């Protein structure tokens, strides 16, 4: 069932809860289910609403206060067509000797006073996953090497800087190295479809941010590009994540993902939800810390 919510946003202070509450009411989602198995919901936005983290709408005064996270497991899709496209590839469990995970890290390109711990984080995640699947850690790959990895793996993790370009959104990029030649752009990512693609985890800044304000209806961002590449499930960020928070969420996500048998496709969204809820528990009054993380796709 699809609900369309038309809202005129008059100021930046307009809360996303204005859009969320009527949808949950229409779906008769009023409280957490007794069995604690929350339903999933997919948000698709346009216009200025594409700039708002509506998955985190609600009261942030305490964990028990009414908040979207207490009622549903939220996911996004850029369009309904994109969601259908993401589901065209057959879901295959993220387990076994025929399942390939790649952890790509670019630790030497930090441009801030707080250097990335990308390589260390990637190796921690590899430790979690490698007993269940074939894995590889790749540090500072070239663009051709990265594109080759994307063609051959079931799941990929990027630990690097990301940049959302407001004037030319198709040139938004993941920074694989220290110079402009290492910028892997949306334009370069798109253009092919990979049958093995299942999961892309983008631990980079603003990979789900629509920075081109005159193109908000197009919803062009890096996470969306990976969906179009064929990855059924994508985890990205709306704005810059703190290094510690990004590392905590990624480790919790992969630990939760590896707990089950991977046969249920919902396991990815539920692993994302569990990881973010854990971070939220100690930062509930600081949504800028935890609300940046978002799940896209099937």
Task: Specify the pLDDT at position 12.
Answer: 33
167 burial type by CB count under 10 A (0-12 exposed, 13-18 middle, 19+ buried): exposed
- Structural domains counted in the chain: 1
Cα–Cα distance between 266 and 27 in angstroms, integer? Answer: 20
Residue 79 lies in a domain: no
Residue 86 lies in a domain: no
Q: Tokens for 271, please give them.
A: 């692993």
Residue 4 lies in a domain: no
Residue 91 lies in a domain: no
Task: Report mean pLDDT in 10-residue bins for the chain, 298 residues.
Answer: 38 51 80 74 76 78 79 86 80 87 76 63 93 92 89 90 69 78 81 78 70 49 77 87 89 92 82 93 88 88
Angular region, 103: left φ>0, alpha ψ -120 to 50, beta rest: beta
CATH code, 232: 3.40.50.1460
Residue 56 lies in a domain: no
pTM of the prediction? 0.85
Give the structural domain span for 124.
96-266
User: 135, 129 in Cβ contact below 8 A?
Assistant: yes
Task: Specify the pLDDT at position 191.
Answer: 65
Alpha helices in the chain (DSSP H): 17-26, 80-86, 118-129, 143-152, 186-189, 222-229, 243-257, 266-281, 287-290
What would the DSSP string read from start to end of 98-141? EEEEEEEE-TT---SSS---HHHHHHHHHHHHTTTEEEEEEES-
Rg (CA), the chain: 18
Residue 203 lies in a domain: yes
Which residues neighbour 114 within 8 Å (Cβ) at sequence distance 6 or greater?
A: 243
Residue 175 lies in a domain: yes
Residue 121 lies in a domain: yes
């Amino acid at each position: 069932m699809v609900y369309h919510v038309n809202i005129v946003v008059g100021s930046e202070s307009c809360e996303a809860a204005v859009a969320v509450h009527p949808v949950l009411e229409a779906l008769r989602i009023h409280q957490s289910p007794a069995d604690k198995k929350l339903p999933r919901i997919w948000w698709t936005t346009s216009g200025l609403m594409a700039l708002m983290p509506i998955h985190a709408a609600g009261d942030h005064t305490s964990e028990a206060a009414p908040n979207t996270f207490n009622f549903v497991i939220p996911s996004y899709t850029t369009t309904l067509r994109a969601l259908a496209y993401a589901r065209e590839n057959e879901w295959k469990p993220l387990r076994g000797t025929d399942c390939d995970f790649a952890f790509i890290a670019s630790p030497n390109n930090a441009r801030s006073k707080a250097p990335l711990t990308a390589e260390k984080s990637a190796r921690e995640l590899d430790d979690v996953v490698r007993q269940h699947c074939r894995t590889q850690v790749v540090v500072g790959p070239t663009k051709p090497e990265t594109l080759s990895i994307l063609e051959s793996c079931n799941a990929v993790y990027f630990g690097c800087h990301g940049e959302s370009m407001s004037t030319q959104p198709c040139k938004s990029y993941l920074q694989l190295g220290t110079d402009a030649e290492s910028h892997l752009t949306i334009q370069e990512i798109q253009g092919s479809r990979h049958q093995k693609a299942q999961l892309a985890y983008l631990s980079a800044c603003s990979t789900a941010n629509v920075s081109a304000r005159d193109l908000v209806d197009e919803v062009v961002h890096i996470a969306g590009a990976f969906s179009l590449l064929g990855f059924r499930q994508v985890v990205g960020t709306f704005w810059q994540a703190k290094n510690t928070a990004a590392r905590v969420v990624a480790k919790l996500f992969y630990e939760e993902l590896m707990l089950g048998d991977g046969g249920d496709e919902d396991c990815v969204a539920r692993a994302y939800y569990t990881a973010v809820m854990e971070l939220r528990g100690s930062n509930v009054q600081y949504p800028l810390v935890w609300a940046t993380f978002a799940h896209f796709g099937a």
